[in-house]
């Protein structure tokens, strides 16, 4: 079908790979700056195209029917999924893509070791060890990402699922995996495929068990960490296959992904170890609320809310994931427009992890044409809070919980929050008093200057905008 022209590991192929990974580096570099990010992504994609075409031209590439089918199916799924996915579902989409990447690594490792066994010769350790590493990490990443996806998609409960003796089971699994890998490596003339499959399964189990107990609020950090893991697994596959493009690209993702993970964890004031091994404590009710008891709160309607807002001088909107779920960004923008017509200063306070990933909320608000300069970061807006007349919390919860500041025993103690309780008045638009992603009660709802507007965010915003017009 296509004449193989390049020798694997030869100068021409390597030169093309160098072009490809240089483009990855430039792409990532440009991806760190708002004005160049889109171009950076395109540059990286071009690098990927070069890497794929180069590989297809390598000597020894065969089974073209399957290759074409695989590429066609994968492209079709990727294109359709990316076009159909809602902006609000981006985080779980990334989790899913990361998962299939990890799955691919694990499968390649399996195929490699089968090939090695079939050859009947001793598999050199500098091939076998990377194979084992990529099999374990790929499998953990695949299953961990799927669990992360299922949690974000609400297919399984987002609350931390605690299993007794969890850490012990995980530790035993990990030890078992390492021991099995050592046995496989010492028997490198004829490693047992059965034992290898057992390793894959144990790693799958470990991926499930590590991510299941982690609360939904920490999921972005987990996805980012698994992203870095998949990168390292890809690099290991590169060692096994003597493929420089895999080594460089995988390592780049591994190290840059690690940095991103640390930055995200810092934004939530959580250490990565803490997230992985502690989960959010088992007690669902924080802030000293007795279970099941309803605490006193003030409920208001859209008209009252409209009056409070229309006669304020400064209004700060604190959007959260609930806004995204309700697709309320456009309706909220309408409210802001009405207020601005009346001379009210409107700002948006964006928590670093508002939505379900850092930067997620900015994307959603940009989609609704909210001017960039009205988006204030947490550090910028918090000192302004005492001078804010009305803070409107739309579908945000944990990121506004004063318990993070006031209650050292709270599971989210120390997490940076938007200090809305400092504002003169607070309106919380939310469907109920139910706890947020972290699974804990929010003290803000019961403060004397807080009014609760129980409604769907989009419907409520629409009503408020109409009421303001009528004033």
Partner 1 sequence: MSLITEITIFVLAAFVGFEVISKVPATLHTPLMSQTNAIHGIVMLGGLIVIGYADDGLEYVIGTIAIVFGTINIVGGFMVTDRMLGMFSKKPKPKAEADGKGGT
User: In the complex with partner 1, which residue's Cβ is closer, 175 or 311?
Assistant: 311
Cβ atoms of 328 and 368 within 8 Å: the answer is no
Cβ atoms of 441 and 449 within 8 Å: the answer is no
The single residue of 398, 441, 443, 456 carrying the catalytic annotation is 398
Query: 90-119 and 360-367 are packed helices; what angle lies between their axes, rounded to 10 degrees?
Result: 130
Least Å distance between CB 203 and partner 1? 16
What residues contact 372, with CB distance under 8 A and at least 6 apart?
366
- Of 298, 303, 332, 301, which Cα lies nearest the Cα of 318? 332
User: In the complex with partner 1, which residue's Cβ is closer, 70 or 288?
Assistant: 70
Least Å distance between CB 316 and partner 1? 15
φ/ψ of residue 346, rounded to 5: -115, 130
Least Å distance between CB 225 and partner 1? 10
Least Å distance between CB 25 and partner 1? 6
Least Å distance between CB 186 and partner 1? 19
For CA atoms 251, 254, 257, 258, give the dihedral sign. Answer: negative
User: In the complex with partner 1, which residue's Cβ is closer, 154 or 369?
Assistant: 369
**95/149 Cα distance (integer angstroms):** 6
Tokens of 88: 């609000």
Least Å distance between CB 66 and partner 1? 5
For CA atoms 135, 136, 137, 143, give the dihedral sign. Answer: positive
What residues contact 1, with CB distance under 8 A and at least 6 apart?
64
**89/75 Cα distance (integer angstroms):** 20
Least Å distance between CB 255 and partner 1? 3
**82/78 Cα distance (integer angstroms):** 6
User: In the complex with partner 1, which residue's Cβ is closer, 250 or 439?
Assistant: 250
Least Å distance between CB 196 and partner 1? 12
**119/130 Cα distance (integer angstroms):** 18
User: In the complex with partner 1, which residue's Cβ is closer, 3 or 294?
Assistant: 3
Active site residue 398: yes
User: In the complex with partner 1, which residue's Cβ is closer, 239 or 445?
Assistant: 239
Backbone conformation region of residue 430, classed left if phi is above 0, alpha if psi is from -120 to 50, else beta: beta
User: In the complex with partner 1, which residue's Cβ is closer, 319 or 358?
Assistant: 358
Cβ atoms of 363 and 350 within 8 Å: the answer is no
For CA atoms 109, 111, 117, 119, give the dihedral sign. Answer: negative
Least Å distance between CB 434 and partner 1? 26
Position of tokens 């895999």?
A: 246
Backbone conformation region of residue 127, classed left if phi is above 0, alpha if psi is from -120 to 50, else beta: alpha
User: In the complex with partner 1, which residue's Cβ is closer, 122 or 409?
Assistant: 122
**346/354 Cα distance (integer angstroms):** 18
Kindly list the distances between the CA atom of residue 44 and the CA atoms of 203, 257, 263, 419, in Å, as whole numbers in the listed order.
Answer: 31, 16, 23, 39
Tokens of 67: 């290759």
Backbone conformation region of residue 9, classed left if phi is above 0, alpha if psi is from -120 to 50, else beta: left
User: In the complex with partner 1, which residue's Cβ is closer, 226 or 412?
Assistant: 226
Catalytic residues: 398
């Amino acid at each position: 079908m296509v004449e193989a022209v390049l020798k694997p590991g030869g100068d021409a192929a390597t030169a093309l790979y160098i072009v490809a990974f240089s483009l990855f580096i430039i792409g990532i570099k440009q991806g760190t700056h708002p004005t160049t990010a889109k171009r950076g992504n395109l540059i990286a994609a071009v690098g990927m195209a070069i890497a794929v075409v180069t590989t297809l031209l390598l000597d020894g590439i065969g089974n073209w029917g399957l290759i074409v089918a695989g590429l066609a199916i994968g492209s079709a799924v990727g294109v359709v999924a990316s076009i159909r996915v809602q902006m609000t579902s981006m985080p779980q989409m990334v989790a899913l893509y990361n998962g299939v990447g990890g799955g691919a690594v694990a499968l390649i490792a399996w195929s490699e070791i089968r090939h090695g066994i079939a050859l009947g010769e001793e598999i050199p350790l500098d091939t076998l060890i990377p194979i084992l590493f990529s099999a374990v990490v790929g499998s953990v990443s695949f299953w961990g990402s799927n669990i992360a996806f299922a949690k974000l998609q609400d297919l399984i409960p987002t609350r931390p699922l605690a299993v007794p003796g969890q850490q012990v089971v995980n530790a035993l699994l990990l030890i078992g995996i390492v021991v099995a890998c050592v046995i496989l490596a010492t028997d490198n003339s004829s490693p047992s495929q059965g034992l290898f499959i057992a390793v894959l399964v144990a790693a799958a189990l470990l991926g499930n068990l590590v991510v299941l107990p982690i609360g939904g609020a920490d999921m972005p950090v987990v996805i980012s960490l698994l992203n870095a893991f998949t990168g390292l697994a890809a690099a290991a596959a590169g060692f096994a296959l003597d493929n420089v493009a895999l080594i460089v690209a995988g390592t780049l993702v591994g190290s840059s992904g690690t940095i991103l993970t640390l930055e995200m964890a810092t934004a939530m004031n959580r250490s990565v170890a803490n997230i992985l091994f502690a989960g959010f404590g088992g007690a669902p009710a924080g802030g000293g609320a007795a279970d099941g008891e309803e605490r006193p709160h003030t409920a208001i309607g859209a008209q009252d809310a409209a009056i409070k807002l229309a006669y304020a001088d400064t209004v700060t909107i604190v959007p959260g994931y609930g806004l995204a779920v309700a697709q309320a960004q456009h309706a909220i923008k309408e409210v802001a427009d009405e207020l601005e017509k009346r001379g009210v200063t409107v700002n948006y306070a964006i928590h670093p992890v508002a939505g379900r990933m850092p930067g997620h909320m900015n994307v959603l608000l940009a989609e609704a044409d909210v001017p960039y300069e009205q988006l204030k970061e947490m550090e910028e807006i918090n000192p302004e809070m005492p001078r804010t007349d009305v803070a409107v919390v739309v579908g945000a919860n944990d990121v506004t919980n004063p318990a993070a500041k006031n209650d050292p025993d709270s599971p989210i103690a120390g997490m940076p929050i938007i200090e809305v309780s400092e504002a003169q008045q607070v309106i919380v638009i939310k469907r109920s008093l139910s706890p947020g992603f972290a699974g804990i009660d929010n003290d803000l709802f019961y403060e004397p200057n807080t009014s609760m507007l129980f409604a769907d965010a989009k419907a409520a915003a629409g009503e408020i905008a109409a009421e303001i017009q009528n004033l």
